[in-house]
Amino acid sequence: MKSGSNLERVIASGKPAVTAELGPPMSADPHEVIKKAGILKGFCDAANITDCQTAVVRISSIAAAYIAHQQGLEPVMQMTCRDRNRIAMQADLLGAAALGLKNCLCIAGDHQKFSAAGKLKGHPGAKNVYDVDTCQLVGIMKKMRDEGLQQGGDKLEVAPKFFIGASWTPMGDPMDFRPYNLKKKVDAGADFIQTQGIYDMEIFKSQMEKARNLGLHERTAILAGIIVPKSAMMLKYMDSSVAGVTVPKPLIDRMLKAKEAAGDDKKKMKELQEQEGIKITVELIQQALEIPGIKGVHIQAIEWETAMEPIVKAAGLYPRPTFDA
Amino acid sequence: MIVGQQKPFDEIWEMVEGFKKILVYGCNTCVAICHAGGGKEAEILASMLRMKAAQEGVDMQIDSQAIERHCEPEFFEPLMEKVRTYDLVLSTACGVGVNFLSDRIGNIPVYPGINTTFFGAVPEAGFFVELCGGCGNCVLHLTGGICPVVRCSKSLMNGPCGGTDKGKCEVSSETDCAWFLIVERMKQLGQLEKLFEVQPPRDWSTGTHGGPRRVSLEHIQAYEAEEEKKTATEGK
């Protein structure tokens, strides 16, 4: 075992892994993290704790991850390359490991200009860092863990033992380069991969075939990302405005049909679309898990954590495996 | 070339009001090409300031002047005596020129009339693009001649992030994704496999992160010293 994390153990067991997502609040109040952790606990093997997602200030990933950890939910802390140089990154990794955190996902991070897609003020005038990129951060973490060395070469008395993750956008431009993009992250040392949300399984299958041809599925655990759709509007938005995400028309039509079935009843409209969204998610999970080389799913029920229980149960992924301490 | 843009007029006025005798001092090299701070722009700015002064009913003398380059002493030395008769120099040279003159002028303030924005090129008249970040550690041989340091919004060194959309950057649909361009260019050159290698963390100390930079060419310095000695001997 590289880290001994629950996520690593589930993956090693050969059973499909399930990760979820927990977005920390724009608040100094820990209770929202505690509440979300309580909802997710038992329905995933670990939950990603996002790092100032959408380039908006929130409780830091490490602090929120520690709160979740105390609640008995295993966290995957996230670390973007946007806000820290390699000194701060490594210091935070030592601190996180000292607090008992065992999984870390490396990502570039939304550009500071994003500001929740313009819905919030954010800090578009902030200076970004990008001292290192995702591949390089993965490499730094691996060097710390496996060689007990900092990036600069100084020795670590006790090395931080992380299960190292990276993201992959299989359907992003330029698409023919994306399998090699993944290969670089694996070469750098990514133990697991969580993909961007997949709705178009056919394109994903062909990208996975290319990844398999490079032997990547044997060197890393690829978890297919599924973003739980809440409404037809959300699916349309994801299709038109989220980079690297395409939503096939039949899925949007299914959601529209569910919406229309409610007539003018707004409450029912929401209910029926949410039910359909859960159904679609379960189907996507099952399709993804059939793809050779897929070792699990990363289910993102964004600001809708209660959806995890029915999804995981309906997908036949409940109960989650447990291990002796 | 260095590309700059004139500062908003109100900001300039706020800087200069209160001074009695002002020289708007243009530079006829880079900033003239980008229509920000050459002799013509300095002259226009001076007349706008004169109009504003008249409007405000304040007594100010505002002249303009331009020289070929503000970054080498030989160009402004002949005029230094005249320049020193002003209370304020409003330079429309790039930031290099403002610093360089300020270091040499003595007791007179030198204020910037333009914002120095980037090193760029002129793909078409009136349009300028940033193409080099001056990072001091060039990797263009690895990236098809397209700079990831300054043309990628995140200065990524190992390929595109997840924000590429139809070849454009997540920062703006008007901005090309540098990595999209790099991949296409490397394919065209038959060198795509060069991109498969993981690039390790960079040494940024060669850029602005290592403190102020200098380049010292000892052989040129030695030659100049020799020439000076010769001239001095001949003169005897």
Q: Residues A140-154: what's their mean pLDDT?
A: 98
Of A130, A197, A193, the C-alpha closest to A165 is A193
**What is the predicted pLDDT for the residue at B234?**
79
Q: Which residues of A touch B158 (CB under 8 A)?
A: 133-136, 181, 184
Cross-chain CB nearest to B198 (options A86, A139, A169): A139
Residues in chain B: 236
Cross-chain CB nearest to B162 (options A114, A133, A167): A167
Looking at the domain assignment, is residue A251 inside a domain?
Answer: no
Tally of domains in chain A: 1
* DSSP 3-state of B182: helix
Chain A residue with CA closest to B192: the answer is A177
Question: Do A136 and B157 count as a contact with CB atoms less than 8 A apart?
Answer: yes
Q: Which residues of A touch B167 (CB under 8 A)?
A: 173-174
d(CA B39, CA B44): 9
Say if residue A266's pLDDT is above 80.
yes
Per residue, the 3-state secondary structure of chain A, as one string, reads CCCCCHHHHHHHHCCCEEEEEECCCCCCCCHHHHHHHHHHCCCCCEEEECCCHHHCCCCCHHHHHHHHHHCCCCEEEEEECCCCCHHHHHHHHHHHHHCCCCEEEEECCCCCCCCHHHCCCCCCCCCCCCCCCHHHHHHHHHHHHHHCECCCCCECCCCCCCEEEEEECCCCCCHHHHHHHHHHHHHHCCCEEEEEECCCHHHHHHHHHHHHHCCHHHCCEEEEEEECCCCHHHHHHHHHHCCCCCCCHHHHHHHHHHHHCCCCCHHHHHHHHHHHHHHHHHHHHHHHHHCCCEEEEEEECCCCHHHHHHHHHHCCCCCCCCCCC
Q: Residues B73-90: what's their mean pLDDT?
A: 95
* DSSP 3-state of B4: strand
| Interface with chain B: mutation pick from A107, A181, A216, highest number of B CBs within 10 Å | A181
Looking at the domain assignment, is residue A250 inside a domain?
Answer: no
**What is the predicted pLDDT for the residue at A317?**
98
Cross-chain CB nearest to A244 (options B157, B162, B196): B162
Looking at the domain assignment, is residue A45 inside a domain?
Answer: yes
Question: Do B162 and A183 count as a contact with CB atoms less than 8 A apart?
Answer: no
Backbone angles phi, psi at A77, to 5 degrees: -70, 150
What token pair was written down for B23? 């020289």
**What is the predicted pLDDT for the residue at B208?**
87
* DSSP 3-state of B45: helix
Give the side-chain half-sphere CA count within 13 A for A97: 21
Say if residue B5's pLDDT is above 90.
yes
Q: Which residues of B touch A184 (CB under 8 A)?
A: 158-159, 196, 198
Looking at the domain assignment, is residue A141 inside a domain?
Answer: yes
pLDDT band for B236, please (50, 70, 90 cuts).
low
Looking at the domain assignment, is residue A288 inside a domain?
Answer: yes
Question: Do B158 and A174 count as a contact with CB atoms less than 8 A apart?
Answer: no
Angstroms from A290 CA to nearest CA on chain B: 25
Question: Do B159 and A184 count as a contact with CB atoms less than 8 A apart?
Answer: yes
Which helix (H) or strand (E) segment holds residue B52: the answer is helix B39-56
Say if residue B41's pLDDT is above 80.
yes
Which domains, from first to last, does chain B contain?
Answer: 2-118 (3.40.50.2300), 135-197 (no CATH)
pTM of the model: 0.95
Which helix (H) or strand (E) segment holds residue B34: the answer is none
What token pair was written down for B153? 């919004």
> What range defines the domain where residue A175 resides?
6-231+284-314
What token pair was written down for A175? 């698409």
Predicted-complex ipTM score: 0.94
Q: Residues B170-179: what's their mean pLDDT?
A: 96
Average pLDDT, chain A: 97
Question: Do B200 and A136 count as a contact with CB atoms less than 8 A apart?
Answer: yes
CATH of the domain at A155: 3.20.20.220
Chain B residue with CA closest to A137: the answer is B201
Question: Do A180 and B160 count as a contact with CB atoms less than 8 A apart?
Answer: no
Chain B residue with CA closest to A169: the answer is B162
Parallel, antiparallel or unpaired: strands B2-6 and B114-124: antiparallel
Q: Residues A104-114: what's their mean pLDDT?
A: 96
Dihedral sign, CA of B140, B143, B145, B151?
negative
Cross-chain CB nearest to A133 (options B158, B167, B195): B158
Say if residue A47's pLDDT is above 90.
yes
Angstroms from A47 CA to nearest CA on chain B: 21
Query: pLDDT digit string (tens) for A221-236?
Result: 999 999 999 999 999 9
Looking at the domain assignment, is residue A12 inside a domain?
Answer: yes
d(CA B46, CA B62): 6
Say if residue B232's pLDDT is above 90.
no
pLDDT band for B235, please (50, 70, 90 cuts).
low
* Longest alpha-carbon distance in chain B: 72
Q: Which residues of B touch A169 (CB under 8 A)?
A: 161-162, 164
d(CA A81, CA A90): 12
**What is the predicted pLDDT for the residue at A291?**
98
Looking at the domain assignment, is residue A243 inside a domain?
Answer: no
Question: Do B204 and A130 count as a contact with CB atoms less than 8 A apart?
Answer: no
Task: Find where tokens 């229509």 sit.
Answer: B35
Say if residue A141's pLDDT is above 80.
yes
Cross-chain CB nearest to A173 (options B171, B180, B198): B180
Average pLDDT, chain B: 96
pLDDT band for A59, please (50, 70, 90 cuts).
very high
Question: A303: Cβ–Cβ under 8 A, 6 or more apart, which residues?
Answer: A23
Q: Which residues of B touch A215 (CB under 8 A)?
A: none
Chain A residue with CA closest to B150: the answer is A130
- Cross-sheet strand order for the sheet of B114-124: B2-6, B114-124, B127-132
Q: Which residues of A touch B183 (CB under 8 A)?
A: 174, 176-177
Question: Do A184 and B155 count as a contact with CB atoms less than 8 A apart?
Answer: no
Task: Find where tokens 């991949």 sit.
Answer: B183
Looking at the domain assignment, is residue A46 inside a domain?
Answer: yes
Q: Residues B62-77: what's their mean pLDDT?
A: 95
Chain B residue with CA closest to A55: the answer is B171
Which helix (H) or strand (E) segment holds residue B16: the answer is helix B9-16
Question: Do B158 and A86 count as a contact with CB atoms less than 8 A apart?
Answer: no
Q: Which residues of A touch B178 (CB under 8 A)?
A: none
Task: Find where tokens 């900001």 sit.
Answer: B11
